[in-house]
């Protein structure tokens, strides 16, 4: 996917210009200084916090790290990551020094790379971005490049405050043509699909499945937690190779933590961002029928680990799992069309569910257009969940 030379000259103003080139390992210090200046040393990802990860990412064959230079000084940066199994990519980490913002530099930089990456001969089908909402700039920028908003991640990352991020997706038309139509959804997530239908121009109606509450679960498990990223990564690779893991599709996330039952019969692999308490479920080895109870037990273990937010991906063709995720108080926040390649070669839609362990806070959020609609759909589910948990005020002592 990455063959070819990524080297461009971008106009800065009438007279001067900038160079956009692939970063080299020896640029590591300049890159980390750039992000430290812009984020005041609070960049939340290991990518910058840990110089070994910075260097490994620059050198990685499935990454393209682009550096903007003016007068031989690092003034901006953006990364692309690729998953060759699902022909999906992610663009992230965009930064431009404040004094050079508003010159369309980042838009030109990402646009120049996308032109190469989506050339007819290239296999890439999808590029997505998760955009901060502390200013409207990131979402507007990707919208101008043809991305569509596909959801929000409420309070997912913490920089100075808990930030909500948007999900923005660029899908090539051949990927949408190759998409499995008529997703099978529980009623609570149908609102998200309606937004996606409009924004991505999807013609097909969903099938709404009447799935009742899950059966009462088995006794809860108290997971012990293995917080040893190197060992966990090795175990994860072994479980994948032995085909023991279910729900193991979560591109661009590495496993760090393993939740294990005492008898080792149940295992759940988590991605964990220690800096801000973000987590995602990357794979489950368990024959337990009660998926909802399993998620609850994982949340209990995550809370002990100091995590504050957790995500899980659920197929848009698995209404039972959607119901179980809702039952475990995970709320639907994004609808990703055509996200994964199925064994049959078609592309399948996915839903993102998230659960926050903290009080939701949207102070200072700058969310426009479709993003606002997704947040409303999310809040509607959140409110319905609170009502469902609340005591019946009619039957008991009235508070109001």
Ligand X SMILES: CC(C)(COP(=O)(O)OP(=O)(O)OC[C@H]1O[C@@H](n2cnc3c(N)ncnc32)[C@H](O)[C@@H]1OP(=O)(O)O)[C@@H](O)C(=O)NCCC(=O)NCCS
The residues of the shown chain that bind ligand X, judged by CB under 6 A, are 38, 94-96, 101-107, 131-132, 135-138, 140-141, 144
CA distance 308 to 162: 10
CB of 129 to ligand X, least distance (A): 7
> How far apart, in whole angstroms, are the C-alpha atoms of residue 87 and residue 172?
11
Coil, strand or helix: which one is 68?
strand
CB of 122 to ligand X, least distance (A): 23
Q: Least separation, in Å, of the C-beta of 175 and ligand X?
A: 23
Choose between 144 and 174: whose C-beta lies nearer to ligand X: 144
Q: Any residues with CB less than 8 A from the CB of 148 and at least 6 apart, and which? A: 168, 169, 170, 171, 199, 200, 370
DSSP, residue by residue, 82-112: EETTTTEEEEEEEEE-GGGTTSSHHHHHHHH
Strand partners, 79: 65, 92
CB of 89 to ligand X, least distance (A): 15
- Separation between Cα atoms, residue 177 and residue 173, nearest integer Å: 6
φ, ψ for residue 126, nearest 5 deg: -140, 140
Q: Minimum Å distance from CB 28 to ligand X?
A: 19
DSSP alpha helices (H): ranges in the chain?
A: 28-39, 46-49, 51-59, 105-117, 137-144, 173-177, 187-200, 229-241, 291-304, 319-327, 369-389
Task: Compute the least distance from the CB of residue 20 to ligand X, in Å.
Answer: 11
Q: Which is nearer to ligand X, 96 or 167 (CB)?
A: 96
Query: Which of the 8 DSSP states describes residue 182?
Result: S
Nearest CB to ligand X, comparing residues 158 and 239: 158
Task: Tell the smallest beta-carbon distance from residue 191 to ligand X (Å).
Answer: 26
Residue 109 or 186: the one with the smaller Cβ distance to ligand X is 109
133 vs 302, which CB is nearer to ligand X? Answer: 133
Closer residue to ligand X (CB): 204 or 368: 368
Give 106 or 169: the residue with its C-beta nearer to ligand X: 106
Contact 149, 374 (CB under 8 A): yes
Instruction: Choose between 94 and 113: whose C-beta lies nearer to ligand X.
Output: 94
Shortest Å, Cβ 332 to ligand X: 22
Cα separation of the two ends of the chain: 62
Report how far residue 93's alpha carbon sits from residue 53's, in angstroms, rounded to the nearest whole number.
14
Q: Which residues contact 400 (CB under 8 A, 6 or more apart)?
A: 393
């Amino acid at each position: 996917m990455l063959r070819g030379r990524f080297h461009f000259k971008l106009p800065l103003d009438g007279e001067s210009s900038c160079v956009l080139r692939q970063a080299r390992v020896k640029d590591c210090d300049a890159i980390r200084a750039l992000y430290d200046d812009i984020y005041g040393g609070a960049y939340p990802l290991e990518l910058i916090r840990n110089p070994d990860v910075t260097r490994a990412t620059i050198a990685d064959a499935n990454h393209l790290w682009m550096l903007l230079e003016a007068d031989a000084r690092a003034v901006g940066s953006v990364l692309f990551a690729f998953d060759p199994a699902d022909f999906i990519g992610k663009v992230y980490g965009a930064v431009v020094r404040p004094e050079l913002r508003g010159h369309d530099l980042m838009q030109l930089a990402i646009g120049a790379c996308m032109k190469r990456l989506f050339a007819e001969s290239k296999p890439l089908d999808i590029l997505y971005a998760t955009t901060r909402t502390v200013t409207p700039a990131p979402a507007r920028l990707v919208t101008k490049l043809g991305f569509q908003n596909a959801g929000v991640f409420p309070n997912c990352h913490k920089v100075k405050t808990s930030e909500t991020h948007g999900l923005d997706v660029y899908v090539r038309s051949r990927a949408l043509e190759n998409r499995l139509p008529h997703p099978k959804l529980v009623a609570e997530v149908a609102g998200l699909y309606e937004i996606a239908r409009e924004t991505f121009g999807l013609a097909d109606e969903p099938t709404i499945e009447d799935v009742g509450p899950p059966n009462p679960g088995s006794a809860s498990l108290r997971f012990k937690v293995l917080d040893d990223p190197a060992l966990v990564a090795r175990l994860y690779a072994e479980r994948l190779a032995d085909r023991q893991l279910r729900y193991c599709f979560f591109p661009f996330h590495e496993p760090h933590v393993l939740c294990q039952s005492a008898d080792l019969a149940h295992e759940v692999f988590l991605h964990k961002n220690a800096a801000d308490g973000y987590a995602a479920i990357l794979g489950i080895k368990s024959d337990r029928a009660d998926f909802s109870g399993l998620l609850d037990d994982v949340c209990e273990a995550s809370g002990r680990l100091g995590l504050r937010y957790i995500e899980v991906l659920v197929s848009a063709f698995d209404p039972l799992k959607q119901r179980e995720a809702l039952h475990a108080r995970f709320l639907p926040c994004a609808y990703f069309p055509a996200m994964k390649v199925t064994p049959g070669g078609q592309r399948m839609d996915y839903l993102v569910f998230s659960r926050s362990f903290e009080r939701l806070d949207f102070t200072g959020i700058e969310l426009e257009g479709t993003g606002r609609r997704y947040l409303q759909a999310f809040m509607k589910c959140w409110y319905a969940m609170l009502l469902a948990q609340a005591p019946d005020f009619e039957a008991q002592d009235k508070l109001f």
